[in-house]
Amino acid sequence: MGQDPKVKYLLSLTAVRQRAKVVGDAAQAGQLNHFDLDETRMDEVADFVTSVIKRDFGPDRFDTIPPHGRWQHFEAGKVPRIADMIDGWRREACDDMEIARRLVDLFFVSVLLDAGAGDGWRWIEPGTGRTYERSEGIAVASLYMFQKLDFTVKKDGKTPLVDGKALEQLPVDVLVEGFQTSETNPMLGVGSRTDLLRRLGKSLLGQSDVFGEEGRPGNIVDYMTKSTADPARLDILVFWDVLQALLIPIWPHDRTTVHGQPIGDAWPLRVLQKHLRNASTKLDDVDVDIDDESNAEDIQPFHKLTQWLTYSLMVPFQRILGVQWTNAESLTALAEYRNGGLFVDLGALSLKKEALDRGLKASGGPLPLFEAGDDVIIEWRAMTLVLIDKLYSMVLSRMDRVHLTLAQLLEAGTWKSGREIAARRRPDTKSSPILIESDGTVF
């Protein structure tokens, strides 16, 4: 029995951008439920993002901008930890395929642990005493855990890798210790992150045709290079389907389902239902049935962590194996609080009074707070995708014939700009302008 066509559509990259476009059309008509869009502020956003890119990579180093991915987070403090690790592996006569497998192992667990840590969490690097926070802190901490063999049952003392059996039975204490969490150094959702990796282990072990009997993430390198006549050219859409098949079962089970099937980071959105109904929309050859009990017509998919993983895993394939990826343009921006906060902080998006008042009541503080599945947050995330697609062309027009990929814009532009403007506006916390009550498995 084949996959339900509506489920297949909502799991696709096509659906992420197509559904967000419907939300963008509603925004232009002034018909969002929770936000007002001020398109006159988009020039200011584009100018700011362009200035950050030119400051850091101009006038002649734009071709050195890395694609958005986990690799550079491991280099926090300008320490080439990955390069040094690869050099060590090569001295052990490790070939490129095995190096790629090991990097995929590391990136897999590190990315899936990379949801928001909270504004107060810090991690101190052993030996150097350097302090890291947020994504970089999670990255470097996970690298140390990887090197300590915390994610493998093969404790031979020298071969860092990841296997499904170790993940399936991972004690929460491993992450508590690895992330140095305590009452005075709290991290959001440590238990949820542990459960996520346990479910990942089970899913890896259940797909031995891709990940081998040991359920090793790195075995996807062999699967992908053997799945095509030209292993130097791999298709993102094929890769995406493999990752979705692995990851959909691991997300928290209380999320959105269609016909009883979980669909991961995809959420009901009121404005989407209204505008799809009015337009009698048919998307990707899947008819929207407004009477369908699954309510598939009101769901906005994002698949943010899976896309973040895809962007990140592409890089070892490229740098170690020389792979070229086709259909990479199908990937979207990442609907998370740094990219989205940029547009709120610079005034392109603003909360309507009712939503703002509700969020402030929930937080009891100066910034509004909402749960991750709140309609406000889903609308914000959808508009983040819409506005980054619009911003992409605006930034390119300001770059004097320099071409950037969307992955480079995310890395050197929107994500970094969102972080910088947050630090300027809220230097004590550097938080997003809208707070999200997360369980550690979404953002």
Q: How far apart are the first and last CA of the chain?
A: 34
48 within some domain: no
> Mean pLDDT lowest for which of 43-57, 110-124, 173-187?
110-124
Across 336-357, average pLDDT: 97
DSSP 44: H
- What pLDDT shows up at residue 156? 75
Using pLDDT thresholds of 50, 70 and 90, give the confidence band for residue 442: low
pTM above 0.85, yes or no: yes
Is 339 inside any structural domain? no
Is 284's pLDDT higher than 60? no
Q: Minimum mean pLDDT among 73-82, 109-118, 341-350: which range?
A: 109-118
Q: How many domains, the chain?
A: 1
Q: How far apart are CA 234 and CA 212, in angstroms?
A: 20
- Whether the Cβ atoms of residue 116 and residue 133 lie closer than 8 Å to each other: no
- Flag whether 159 is in a domain: yes
Per the structure, the complete domain to which residue 132 belongs is given by 69-265+309-324
pLDDT tens, position by position, 51-110: 999 999 999 999 999 999 999 999 999 999 999 999 999 999 999 999 999 999 999 999
Long-range CB pairs of 134-138 (<8 Å, 24+ gap) are: 135/73, 136/73, 136/76, 137/76, 138/73, 138/110, 138/113, 138/114, 138/179
CB atoms within 10 A of CB 291: 6
Residue 50 in any domain: the answer is no
Does 42 reside within a domain? no
- Please indicate, yes or no, if residue 85 is contained in any of the structural domains: yes
Residue type, 309: L
Q: What is the pLDDT of residue 46?
A: 98
**346 found inside a domain:** no
pLDDT of residue 295: 59
The Cβ of residue 268 has, within 10 Å, a number of other Cβ atoms equal to 16
pLDDT for residue 280 is more than 50? no
